[in-house]
Amino acid sequence: MPLSTDQAAEIDALRAEARETLRPTVPALEALLYKALPVLDHGFVRVIDYMGDDGAIVQAARVSYGRGTKKVSEDRGLIRYLMRHRHSTPFEMCEIKFHVKLPIFVARQWIRHRTANVNEISARYSILDKEYYIPAPAQLAAQSAVNRQGRGDLIEGEQARAVLDLLRADAERNYADYEYLLNVDAEGNPADAGRDGLARELARMNLTLNTYTQWYWKIDLHNLMHFLSLRADPHAQYEIRVYAEEMLKVLEAWVPATFEAFCDYRMGGASFSAKDLEVIKSLIAGGSPTVESSGLSKREWTELMAKLGRE
């Protein structure tokens, strides 16, 4: 379970406490505030706080005194213009803070996005919970033969069972060794009064990368959309993509006009090089460009044809 009974009760208490504010709020996002959106087997994403909305983006772009000075349709058009022409500053006026629980190996991928403010749980101070990620059988795949950082064919049958058994056994054994090094029992109490526990900052190095960690992650809207454009992409690793997919739902609730433009121009759009455009113009004019005549590499040609939906 992503949340314990105590954690769920704490969230209920937070949601029951009403606060008055003069700031703009978003009812659809307020409905999600503090709630844990489950991801993987023990993970979650939840919104802790936010600032701004679609109107704040428009207001910043116009540098106006108030809100609602234009019709909703005009605001939508401006947001689409800003997105289309990559005017990023107005989107930076909005911010959001997430609480994320995720496996350590996913966190190490995630932290490469250096445009956020992050505060992670400290295993120097706290004892990490006995929670680790075990892939579902549908996610067990062999190494891709054509993509060095991707997955190939599904592993099934006895081989899959052996892989899952090994992952569980390693995680169980390493966590048991972690407890032994700390000299604590399952409740966190001293296990053996006759010996000292190893310092937490040293004992943690024995944990496997599928152990769960947690952090608070605060980011502005522009950089959030950059993160989502990469991590919600079908080519992203499954274990980080599922987090991004939940965050896309948050984005839609928070800034629906921006979400629409983001899906049209970023998630569902494509970029073309100068040579790509020459090929496209030739095709429109009825020409028959080839990889040799295009000036593109074989890989560039393949990617262009995939964008155009051609063999």
Quote the CA–CA distance of 137 and 121 in Å, as a whole number: 30
Q: Are 134 and 209 in contact (CB under 8 A)?
A: no
Which is it for the CA torsion 290, 295, 299, 303, positive or negative?
A: negative
Beta strands in the chain (DSSP E): 37-39, 43-51, 95-103, 117-120, 141-143, 151-154, 212-220
Q: Are 92 and 85 in contact (CB under 8 A)?
A: no
Q: Which candidate, 78, 59, 85, 24, places its Cα nearest to that of 254?
A: 24
Alpha carbon dihedral 247, 242, 236, 82, in 10-degree steps, equals -20
Residues known to be catalytic: 231
